[in-house]
Structure 1
Amino acid sequence: MTTDTQHKGRTAGVTRAVVFDSLGGPEVLKVEEVPLPSPGVGEIQVRVEAIGLNRAEALFRSGGYYYRATLPGSRLGYEAAGVVEAVGEGVTAHAPGDQVLATAGFDFGTHGVHAERVVHPAEFWVRRPEGVDARTAAAAWLTYTTAYGALHETARMAPGDHVLITGASSGVGTAAIQVVRRAGAIPVVTTRGEGKRERLLELGAAHVIVTDTEDLVKEVHRITGGKGADLAFDAIGGPGFTTVGDALRPGGTVVLYGWLNPGPIHLSFNWPLTVHTYNNGVLIDDPAFRDRAHAYLASGLASGALAPVIAETFDGLDRIQEAHRLMESSAHTGKIVVRVA
């Protein structure tokens, strides 16, 4: 990984970037000029066109992520689409003018992509699928690679499986609905309030369970004829993780990829049960996985089987606080995007 020490002495200019000096809510975010080094060996310079927001960034900004920000001056952001402007010595995978996507396989406190321009190791970026605009691309990589990696490569989802998706109105949740349907499996999704039921059905959910008013376990067993779901894709964790396990058939599989509830995670006694924790960044570090995920995404976007659900688009980095407030409100369905250029 490239360090600030390696960049010392070759600053080419400055760029505007989202930074924060203390932990807290959206109000701690600001846009400042920061040094922009010239690309070194194995590096590229990217002009960022659009960024996609993720819950991970809100957790990181507030101190609840699995690694901590180095303050002051922490950077932010996993997901972006842009254009290569310059390449350093030894770079062969990219050339100026290439349209690219950030892979999210990095520490975003150091390498955060919420900026107008960034200089990164070349392997942090992949070629943007043909014909995909920057706004769509910024909403695609992390959501679909997470769902693909968790459901296909980790849980081995099969056609006909009933797949329980919690927190289904999120960017990853809406992507997972499409990934499940593309596999010939059956998405059974949850949302807390009645207001999102119809929208989730429109987006392809076969069944929607409103957890504020409906019993999750009873509803899943009713939907599956008493069997229970084959697989669960859980964003929440916490004490409610017990209920997710209870909703599965004996021998079912749960993939836990988030912890929206930071409380202790309680396991179900519905044994045997296979539980996986999932970290997309670990898989992304494997070039072979990165290639498979890229091929899956590109073919799905080309065929129309995958189509990112974008809740709202904000114009300009200066609206980053507004975008984070919307994300934390949970009032949206799908991905929030900020157009940079």
Structure 2
Amino acid sequence: MSRVIKFAKAGGPEVLQFVEVDVPAPGPDEVRIKVKAIGINRAESMWRTDIYIEPVAFPAGLGYEAAGVVDAIGQNVTDVAVGDSVSVIPSFSMNQYFTYGEVVTLPAYAVVKHPTSLSYEEAASVWMMFITAYGALVEDAKVGKGDFVVISAASSSVGLAAIQVAAYQGATPIALTRTPAKKKQLLDAGAAHVIATEETDLVAEIMRITDGKGARVVFDPIGGSNFPKLVSIIGFQGIIYLYGALAEGPAHLPVLDMIAKMPVVKGHNIWLTSGDEARRKGAVEYVVKGLEAGALKPVIDRTFRFDEMVDVHSYLENNGQFGKIVVTV
């Protein structure tokens, strides 16, 4: 028997319920894991409120990331064995699999051995943040020396990963944050410049930093009414990646700036990379290499206990964290 978390209707954190279930033996191409830590993502909050990129089939589980020990394997599984320490790559629908549980079953392709230098808490946090950033900045934009990369909501886990990935590629990461409260932390995390958008003219400051050329890449999880400013700071034929919807409203497009600058605006999510076997393998190799070199390092804001999951979601939605929220099991 295992405790897992499910919810029968969309709503606030209070809809999350602990349920005792019998976790069966894994089927073909599946792995059963005794969970040690769970990484928490904004996507799970959106899933709980049924405003995610796919509709929820109730009653539903939730969770994309975890780390733990392999408890059993199904037929055809060869990459991991019972007793291995592993972590989970977000690459499946939460209508089919989930990670919020003491013992969970997952598709074998999503389960990988992580560097032994990582704790379970760190291993539960790395894949969503780094593969999301890698997919946009490395696979697609191929950022490098001379490129300016503007990163909105920079103190989020994916924002911090984007800072590290951009710097690892030799580009110049520019972190955006609302107030100067987190400026030193962002500089320590690798940002070359930090702009507090509530007290600084964003467009003027970006143009100053880039000598009037604008940024080549903007990596943004917000959208909304401030989106025209991101178009204003992009260079000619630059790229803007939208990978979230924190503003929850439509992103406004400044038509004349779009015509003048001819930017590419792309929706982005982890699935483009993690949903393809070859790309997923390349991403894992890249992240592992970066972790081993010390260029990439997960930043954990706070850890909670599994029993505190309702509080975890409330804390997540307060938007005050710096880095990843992790739950220990």
Interval containing the TM-score (normalised by the shorter chain): over 0.9
CA positional deviation for 1:230: 1.2
Match of 2:294 in 1: 304
Structure 2 unaligned runs (5+)? none
Structure 1 segments, 4+ long, off by >6 Å, are none
Q: How many angstroms apart in 1 are the aligned matches of 2:74 and 2:314?
A: 38
Match of 1:22 in 2: 9
Pairing of 1:6-45 with structure 2 (within 5 A) = 14-45=1-32
Match of 2:48 in 1: 61
Which one of the candidate residues 313, 320, 323 is aligned to 2:309? Answer: 320
CA positional deviation for 1:109: 3.3
Deviations, residues 267-298 of structure 1 (Å, cap 9, x unaligned): 24242111221121232111111111111111
Query: 8 Å contact 1:39–1:86 — kept in the other structure?
Result: yes
Q: How many angstroms apart in 2 are the aligned matches of 1:264 and 1:312?
A: 32
Of all paired residues, the percent bearing the same amino acid is 43
Deviations, residues 63-87 of structure 1 (Å, cap 9, x unaligned): 221112222x210100111111111
SS at match of 2:173: strand
Aligned residues: 325
- Pair 1:195-2:181 in alignment: yes
Q: How many angstroms apart in 1 are the aligned matches of 2:280 and 2:160?
A: 21
Pairing of 1:1-341 with structure 2 (within 5 A) = 14-71=1-58, 73-268=59-254, 269-270=257-258, 271-315=261-305, 317-340=306-329
Q: TM-score, normalising length from structure 1?
A: 0.92
SS at match of 2:160: helix
Deviations, residues 80-118 of structure 1 (Å, cap 9, x unaligned): 111111111221122101121111111113311011111
Query: 8 Å contact 1:165–1:187 — kept in the other structure?
Result: yes
CA positional deviation for 1:49: 0.9
SS at match of 1:230: strand
> 2:202 is aligned with what amino acid?
L
SS at match of 2:317: helix
CA positional deviation for 1:35: 3.2
CA positional deviation for 1:120: 2.2
> 1:26 is aligned with what amino acid?
P
> 1:139 is aligned with what amino acid?
S
Q: How many angstroms apart in 1 are the aligned matches of 2:25 and 2:19?
A: 19
Structure 1 unaligned runs (5+)? 1-13
Kindly report the root-mean-square deviation, in angstroms, between the aligned alpha carbons of the 2 structures.
1.3
Query: 8 Å contact 2:131–2:273 — kept in the other structure?
Result: no
SS at match of 1:109: coil
CA positional deviation for 1:60: 1.0
> 1:57 is aligned with what amino acid?
E
Deviations, residues 279-318 of structure 1 (Å, cap 9, x unaligned): 2123211111111111111111111111111000112x11
CA positional deviation for 1:265: 1.7
Q: How many angstroms apart in 2 are the aligned matches of 1:219 and 1:141?
A: 32
Most deviating of 82-91 and 46-55: 82-91
CA positional deviation for 1:129: 2.2
Query: 8 Å contact 2:175–2:194 — kept in the other structure?
Result: yes
> 1:128 is aligned with what amino acid?
H
Q: How many angstroms apart in 2 are the aligned matches of 1:110 and 1:250?
A: 42
Q: How many angstroms apart in 2 are the aligned matches of 1:121 and 1:110?
A: 10
Query: 8 Å contact 1:232–1:254 — kept in the other structure?
Result: yes
Q: How many angstroms apart in 1 are the aligned matches of 2:213 and 2:139?
A: 24
Deviations, residues 157-195 of structure 1 (Å, cap 9, x unaligned): 121211000000101001111111111111111111221
Query: 8 Å contact 1:155–1:255 — kept in the other structure?
Result: no
